[in-house]
Amino acid sequence: MRRSPLALAALATIAVPGLDPYDVRALAAPDSDTDAALVADSQRRRWVVRAPVDAASGAALEAETALVGRLSEQVDAGRLPFAVPTPVGFAALPEGGRAVVHAQITGRACELDALEPGPGLAADLGRCIAALHELPVAVIESLGLPAYSADEYRRRRQSEVDEAARTGHVPATLLARWEAQLEDVSWWRFRPTVVHGDLSADRVLVADGEVAGILGWSQAMVADPADDLAWLLVAAPADAAESIVEAYQLRRTELTDPHLADRAMLAGELALARWLLFGVRSGDQDVVADAAGMLADLDNQTRPVSVDPEVEAG
């Protein structure tokens, strides 16, 4: 069931004893399966309350909450240089499950267009992602969350490409390039790490030129570290992306992954295939058309330029 901001504020007062709300507003949740609100109390503190909309989203929220608890320990130990949405209270729901409350992390969404090269925010992004990838994989595995070997993850990507190909909306030249990259075993010799799995500009909060916090941990797993860099290498200015990768590599230990950036770019492209598959599975023809258009544009942008033999000879 969906809950109004006022209903969520009432749950927050149950979850956090002494919380006296004076203002509440709806908040975009990190995922579509939870309702969320921002509650300000009489002491000017700000709280985020999230409640699942059904049993499945309740189970997902519980798993995410357990993981964030483990990540909070890593923050306290100084291994993660950014805040995570640490739960401070819970409120039982009549239909089962719990609403979760955490203190709001101060910051604004990361603006990729404004990133500049050098030792500022771009470098801090690289260091923060590297710090996440340096965590022990037991943080994920001990909670029963997904954990893939390098080859298992390659085959997972291959399955996505195969399914996208069957829709008939992936250009043949683009599909051939993806298949060649997935079949090149040298690309897929990497050490799986803890990954966020769904990083984007609105999940990375920035304050005072540094990463202040990271939200939305429901897709965390042990997988390809390139996935967490894809959104940056695809959308950030090229010179800023170089600073991100350089800072990332300096922060990592025992990093021998010459195809990290290659896989990150591939992951960014395959996001379009997943968008296409979402449209097909949900029967949303507008999404299918949007994805097909973007795939066609990508094919045009990345297709090798052919040279007329007569022009070349002349």
Which residue ranges form the domains of the chain, and what is each CATH number? Answer: 5-105 (3.30.200.20), 109-302 (3.90.1200.10)
Q: From CA 85, how far away is CA 215, in angstroms rounded?
A: 6
Sign of the dihedral defined by the CA atoms of residues 63, 66, 71, 74, in that order = negative
Residues 6 or more apart whose Cβ sits within 8 Å of residue 52: 33, 34, 58, 60, 61, 93, 97
Express as a percent the part of the chain with pLDDT over 90.
83
Which pLDDT tens digit goes with each residue over 234-279?
999 999 999 999 999 999 987 778 999 999 999 999 999 999 999 9
For residue 30, what pLDDT is reported?
Answer: 57
For residue 303, what pLDDT is reported?
Answer: 79
Parallel/antiparallel/unpaired status of strands 193-195 and 221-223: antiparallel
Asked if the model's pLDDT at residue 178 lies above 90, the reply is yes
